[in-house]
Amino acid sequence: MAEKFYITTAIDYPNNKPHIGHAFEKIGADVQARFRRMLGQPTFFLIGNDENTVKVSRRAAELGLDPKSYVDQMAEVFKAAWRDLNISNDEFIQTSEPRHWTGCQKFIQIVHDAGYIYRKAYEGIYCEGCEAFKTAKDLVDGRCEQHPQLELKTVREENYFFALSRFQDRLLKLYRDNPEFIQPESRRNEVVALVESGLEDISITRQNLDWGIPVPFDPQQRIYVWFDALLNYITGIGYGTDEAKFRRWWPAEMHVIGKDITRFHCALWPAMLMAAGLELPHRVQVHGFVLIKGAKMSKSLGNVVDPMDLVGQFGADAFRYVLLRLCPFTGDGEFSFDQFVSVYNSDLANNLGNLYSRTLSMCLRYFEGNLEGTAGLVPQEVLGDLDLEAFHRELTARMAACEYHMALAMIWEGILDRANRYVDRTKPFELAKTDRDRCKEVLANLASTLRTAAVYIAPFMPQTAQKLYTAFNFTPAFADIHWDMAARTGPLAMDLKVTAPTEKGRVRPLFPRIQ
């Protein structure tokens, strides 16, 4: 296990508020960061906004604001959304911040001095949606694949170029020697094919722009989008401003990005780092799209879903769970409100929520919440037919591979379904009348299973996990739980008792059913 874990997401354009696609990426990265912390790895989690763009300055002008005022306002909108979704990032970087400008200017100067940047006149096809120049092989039927609704423009400028073509062989060696560098394998194959087909040098500055980072060796030019944006991964941890912090966290163990920007992160970014003499990240984890009626979300198509609408109605944990259960993180997934309701009711209200309510209600009704005499009990009955050690190993591997929908299926089928079948089989509500000691033992087994479930769902549903774990007097404190605790089935240290809040002696439902 690595001594530390540095994880990032792509930074977002703040030309509009975040949508469900942004939330999908942030939640997926957050699950990984929480999982790594539970493994005991010191973890640093970086997110942020990509602000030095033409789209941002244009949007600011439409609102009658200067760009900096606009991006600062939008940063607060994004930060609020991520707080509401319980994203546990350690840092939020704005690329308009002085620390980012300082780091970018240092980096581009180093690469220029190393001989990888040169100036030339250029004419190219430009997509305003991507804020990127396109070559013929990037186009589908003469249009940008990601923004087919936008007209491409021909741009003529004299700019500085990065000699990306000089890194083709080194990149192919990187992919060959480090097959884990790009995940999943399907995305790795796409990038390898792209690089094998030939790389062209790319424009990394623009002239005649008022907004953006000045090029230190030519102040009339501004550093262009990708050569600026990608550098947030190092400026956000101190490159150019806090070298001790930078040495502490770089290189990144995982960059989490969408499949539409793989060529920038898997070809351009490592080439930039090679040119600057910096270590490469260990892994680029590519996620798919959240599809609405089979199409990628787009403001122009009118199918953008505001995640905060669902969070406001049903809570962050419910939204996090359903989104990752419906949509495979390493591939595309379909999302709709009807699907949300169906999964919410079946998995959260009827399964997890019902198990929690039944277990606590019976403890309160039959024993006033005190399961005296349960200390020393080894609570193995519920999961007795499960090879918990093998289950734990497989679940841990699924988590590390970002196969979240499969990990959640394992938890629900392997732990929660077993617990609900155990209730139906043992019938503690009947044992309360005929064998109270056995009833108490059954309820202690169920309580312990809720503890196991709490540990496993903590990366996905942190608030719900805390409610499950603190429903009884389990030790250690919830803040100190470790991932491997879920696989331990030693004797209970003390008599169990209900510590969950109640209303007039009744348990508050975790997930009220959606009618």
Q: Are 141 and 149 in contact (CB under 8 A)?
A: no
Does residue 297 surpass a pLDDT of 60?
A: no
Domain count, the chain: 1
Range of the domain at 385: 337-507
Q: pLDDT tens across 380-431, in order? A: 899 989 999 999 999 999 999 999 999 999 999 999 999 999 999 999 999 9
pLDDT band with cut points at 50, 70 and 90 for residue 480 = very high
Percent over 90 (pLDDT), the chain: 81
> Which domain CATH number covers 402?
1.10.730.10
In the chain, count H helices and then E strands: 21, 22
Question: pLDDT tens digits, residue range 299-329?
Answer: 555 555 678 889 999 999 999 999 999 999 9
Average pLDDT, the chain: 94
Domain assignment present for residue 168? The answer is: no
Q: Quick check: 100 pLDDT over 90?
A: yes
Determine how β-strand 295-296 pairs with β-strand 117-127.
unpaired
Strand, coil or helix: 372: coil
pLDDT tens-digit series, residues 20-32: 999 999 999 999 9
Given a cut of 70, is residue 296 above it in pLDDT?
Answer: no
What is the structure's pLDDT at 149? 84
Is residue 450 situated within a structural domain?
yes
Q: What is the set of active-site residues? A: 19, 22, 127, 130, 144, 147, 296, 299
Token digits of residue 69 = 């005022």
Cβ-contact 290, 19 below 8 angstroms = no
- Asked whether the whole model's pTM tops 0.95, one would answer no
Q: Is the dihedral of CA 65, 67, 69, 71 positive or negative?
A: positive
Position 504 confidence tier, pLDDT thresholds 50, 70, 90: confident
Model confidence band, residue 244 (pLDDT cutoffs 50, 70, 90): very high
CA distance 201 to 199: 7
| Residues 120-156: tens digit of each pLDDT | 987 888 887 777 778 777 888 888 888 888 889 888 8
Look at residue 164 and tell me whether its pLDDT is greater than 90. Answer: yes
Residue 40 is assigned to a structural domain of this protein: no
Q: Is residue 409 part of a domain?
A: yes
Facing residues of 506 across strands? Answer: 503
190 within domain boundaries: no
Span 58-81, pLDDT tens digits: 889 999 999 999 999 999 999 999
Is it the case that residue 359 has pLDDT exceeding 90? Answer: yes
Q: Is residue 466 part of a domain?
A: yes
Tell me whether residue 123 is exposed, middle or buried, using C-beta atoms within 10 angstroms of its C-beta: 0 to 12, 13 to 18, 19 or more. Answer: exposed
Domain for residue 236, yes or no?
Answer: no
Residue 347 has pLDDT above 70, yes or no: yes
Determine the pLDDT at residue 298.
57
Going from the C-alpha of 405 to that of each of 235, 365, 377, the distances in angstroms are 33, 36, 33
356, part of any domain: yes
